[in-house]
Amino acid sequence: MRIYDISQEIFSGAIFKGDPVPAPTPLHLIKNGSPYNLSSVSMSLHSATHIDAPSHYIEDGLSVDQISLESCIGPCMVLSANGPIDEGLISPLLGRGTKRLLFKGKGWLTLKAARALSESEVVLVGTESQTVGHAAQIDEVHCILLEKNLVILEGLVLQDVPEGNYYLAALPLKFGGMDGSPCRAVLLDYLPALD
């Protein structure tokens, strides 16, 4: 079994334009005479690799501690996409049991693709970009997906992952009432046991 770490490092990772840069603050240091090291961190919950909760865009939407963990763990498919990810790419994948889709490359969802996903069995969609939408459609793409409680996983690192089927584990931290969370996302590439 191979494990792919598909997460950005928090302090050097990407941030969305205008968001605060993650910053550590040492509170206690062994080198300064303390018996231990202890730090705090200031950051946006949407820095580096992160999950968007429905409440990110929906006023009464689920917070990140309320989203289904079953959506964040399970079989997934990794596909390459550069430029707009349209309905033509999405439609052939739907109705075949695929519940989690991760797009590697510089791809983004169009409104039609987001609508197709929101009406399907898909429970999670992920992208390497810091946002699943693009330009003037960022807000609407998010709303379409999050109104249906689809988990949005953004800021992935997939360049070393071949296209194919994997097992995804991407759990958000349990921030009560919050609109998102950083997460450590991994893919497992494994061969099932032979009978």
List the domain range (segments joined by +) for residue 58.
2-12+48-189
Q: Are 51 and 153 in contact (CB under 8 A)?
A: yes
DSSP designation for 163: S
Residue 144 lies in a domain: yes
pLDDT tens sequence across 102-121: 999 999 999 999 999 999 99
pLDDT tens sequence across 63-85: 999 999 999 999 999 999 999 99
Query: Which sequence positions are flagged as catalytic?
Result: 56
Is 10 exposed, middle or buried, given 0-12, 13-18 or 19+ CB atoms closer than 10 A?
middle
Question: Which string of b and e fits 52-84 if b means at least 16 CB within 10 Å?
Answer: bbbbbbeeebbbbeebeeebbeeebbbbebeee
Residue 25 lies in a domain: no
Residue 195, CA distances (Å) to 20, 167, 192 in order: 52, 20, 9
**Rounded Cα gap, residues 107 and 56, in angstroms:** 21
- Whole-structure pTM value: 0.94
Mean pLDDT, residues 54-62: 98
Residue 29 lies in a domain: no
In this structure, what CATH number is given to the domain that contains residue 85? 3.50.30.50
Residue 69 lies in a domain: yes
How many domains does the chain divide into? 1
Is 44 exposed, middle or buried, given 0-12, 13-18 or 19+ CB atoms closer than 10 A?
middle
Q: Are 75 and 165 in contact (CB under 8 A)?
A: yes
